[in-house]
Structure 1
Amino acid sequence: MQGPFNRSGKSKPMAEINVVPFIDIMLVLLVVFMITAPMLTQGVQVELPQVTSQPIDTQEDNDPIIISVDGDGGYFITLGEDSTSVTLEEMSSRVTTILERSPGTPVMVRGDRNVAYGQIVVLMSTLQGAGVANVGLLSEPPQDG
């Protein structure tokens, strides 16, 4: 009698590998990567503010580029004492030009309290496209009383 329960005492080793657990693990990993992959490619990286913050040390020879967004949604670029009104495309090309001349120049964003969050995100995305690796957000300390 041939089969797995023969009485002769000689059993043949099973030469098959059960791959069902491996398939289960691979399907779980596939689902995890499908969910997390879109989250990794979208968004602008921003370091969120802490409860208390220290002033940023700037080098004296490198004035920061300050991009301001007023309450009406207009963009202004300030370098040193010079402040000019620009469009989003002009701002991108000017920032690129300044960073090509002096790559260590910090870039700061000042946004009015009433400006929509989406407009600040568009600004930061444009700055990222212009080659800005880190963007600082300016704020005022809370007033006591």
Structure 2
Amino acid sequence: MRQRRLMNQINVVPYIDVMLVLLVIFMVTAPMLPTGTVDVPSVAKASQAKLPPLEVVVKSADELQMRDRSKTETLTSVSKNDLVARLRDAQASNPDQPVVIAADKNVRYDAVMQVMDLLQRNQISKVGLLVRPAQ
């Protein structure tokens, strides 16, 4: 009768089976995870501007409004080209006047960034974002 030799290797097949089962479980449950939401932050202490800012209000990707807080509190609808022209005229007469961009929480972030990019490409200086003070 022949004597059996001992096998000195580890059998990895059960480990591979367990890993494949875990991989399938993660692949099935990953799409069910809830996605995160981003709330616009509020600032506890915002610096106050020396001059009243020019406010650009983004209502949607295509609808822009402007308000000059030093002259009036009413919003006027403007196109992108008209917005740049008005801001250049205002900063030509007063180069230290800041420009703030305001948007509702429901406005897409992309629309706000397009307006900010438009202002930066047209050399509008002192552009910032309007924040709500903490309560």
TM-score range, shorter chain: 0.5 to 0.7
- Letter paired with 1:108: V
Q: TM-score, normalized by length of structure 1? A: 0.55
Q: TM-score, normalized by length of structure 2? A: 0.59
Determine whether 1:54 maps to 2:51.
Answer: no
CA deviation map 1:69-123 (0-9, x unaligned): 1257410110022421001111011101111111000110101111111111110
Q: Equivalents in 1 of 2:43, 2:102: separation in Å?
A: 18
Runs of at least 5 residues in structure 1 that lack an aligned partner in the other structure = 1-48
Matched positions, count: 93
Q: Equivalents in 1 of 2:43, 2:54: separation in Å?
A: 23
The partner residue of 1:67 within 56, 70, 75 is 56
**Contact preservation (8 Å) 2:53, 2:98:** yes
Runs of at least 5 residues in structure 2 that lack an aligned partner in the other structure = 1-39
**Residues 51 and 63 of structure 1, relative CA distance in 2, 3 Å threshold:** closer
What is residue 124 of structure 1 aligned with on the other side? 116
**Contact preservation (8 Å) 2:98, 2:125:** no
**Residues 57 and 84 of structure 1, relative CA distance in 2, 3 Å threshold:** same
Q: Which has the higher contact order (CA 8 A, sep 6+)?
A: 2
Determine whether 1:99 maps to 2:91.
Answer: yes
**Contact preservation (8 Å) 1:71, 1:113:** no
Q: Percent of pairs identical after alignment?
A: 24
